[in-house]
Amino acid sequence: ISNALPNSFIFFKPRDVVSGDFYWFSEQNGLIIIVAADCTGHGVPGALMSMIGTSLLSEIVNHRGITNPSEILDNLDSGIQKAFKKYLSEEIENKDGMDISICTIDKPNNKLSYAGAFRPLIKIRNGAIEEYQGNRFPIGGGSSYKKTTFTTHEITIDKGDFFYMFSDGFPDQFGGDKGKKYMNKRFKDLLLTINQQPTSSKLKLLEKAFTDWKGEIEQLDDILIVGFEI
């Protein structure tokens, strides 16, 4: 990842020894594909879902050569559903899945394509945030969601644009003086603040902000933030 995206960082802090959050990366046909995912649960159940997800992504992207984000997510959803029907009970199938954001980066043409399942992509340009929303249904998750095909957002990259993909672990962490959730608005304000700093400092600032906020309260979920400039 550092070779393909030198101006990037990954803040990855599992709650337990193994994680339900995962990141994934590939280069295919001159394109960079990067993923940030948040699976149902944490610990061993989340880690098992992460293993299934990474295995399917490798099959879809590396072996089938699919690079369009929405097509990747459509195939990932289909693969998860098939795996559940083959190996797991209907009860588990009805609840387990993953929220995910995926970007395909075409560096020579200054283009980025994004698709998501419940997880957004944030772009900071000239000190202002623009948020791209994913579809409002997960990968997997059983039959309780009315699903369509996933949507790809095409973004033209300007010099200095910085992108953030993340799970909900940081915004959902309890802490502070009143023991409340960090929340999305405070998290976006934090991203705006750290974005003024060199990439090498962003990771340290995020780690400090999380530690300071959490204080003595236990970490409630896995934490994943992927940041990159192209």
Phi-psi region of 63 (alpha: psi -120 to 50; beta: other; left: phi over 0): alpha
Residue whose tokens read 């700093």: 197
The residues that bridge with 32 in the sheet, in sequence order, are 27, 105
Q: Which of 95-99, 100-104, 123-127, 208-212 has the lowest mean pLDDT?
A: 95-99
- From the list 131, 147, 32, 135, the residue with the least C-alpha distance to 78 is 147
- From the list 25, 37, 208, the residue with the least C-alpha distance to 119 is 37
Q: Tell me the residue type at 174.
A: F
Q: Tell me the residue type at 46.
A: G
The model's pLDDT over 9-57, given as tens digits with 9 standing for 90+, comes to 999 999 998 899 999 999 999 999 999 999 986 777 788 889 999 999 9
- Regarding pTM above 0.85, the answer is yes
The model's pLDDT over 84-102, given as tens digits with 9 standing for 90+, comes to 776 655 555 456 789 999 9
**Rounded Cα distance, 76 and 64, in Å:** 12
Percent of the chain residues past pLDDT 90, beyond the cut: 82
The model's pLDDT over 176-193, given as tens digits with 9 standing for 90+, comes to 999 999 999 999 999 999
**Rounded Cα distance, 77 and 56, in Å:** 10
